[in-house]
Amino acid sequence: MNRTEATQILMLSSDATFDDIKYAYRKLSLKLHPDRNKNEKDGRRFKNVLKAYHFLKGQNRLKNYNYKNKSTQKKSSYN
């Protein structure tokens, strides 16, 4: 899965912020969750939404980690 596929599953544009991603995930998961909806097709769709959200969440964590790591390296190089 890549970012484009994940944002399409969540019905978002490719430049969506992480707040947009969280909102779309919550909205879709409430609609498609198996406890609320017994339709098998929606159950599969719910799993895809979950995978897309976790993929994008992981990308966001990596982005934040890299940003923090770069700023730490800059500080330590000045000493």
**63: in domain:** yes
HSE at residue 74, side-chain half, CA atoms within 13 A, is: 6
**51: in domain:** yes
Do residues 12 and 27 touch, judged by C-beta distance below 8 A? no
**74: in domain:** no
Q: For residue 72, what pLDDT is reported?
A: 57
Q: For residue 31, what pLDDT is reported?
A: 92
Q: Give the structural domain span for 28.
A: 3-68
Q: What is the per-residue pLDDT across 15-38, written as a single tens digit (0 to 9) for each?
A: 889 999 999 999 999 999 989 888
Q: Is the pLDDT of residue 68 over 60?
A: no
**77: in domain:** no
Q: Is the pLDDT of residue 43 over 90?
A: no
Report how many domains make up the chain.
1
Average pLDDT over residues 51-67: 77
Q: For residue 77, what pLDDT is reported?
A: 52
- CATH code assigned at 60: 1.10.287.110
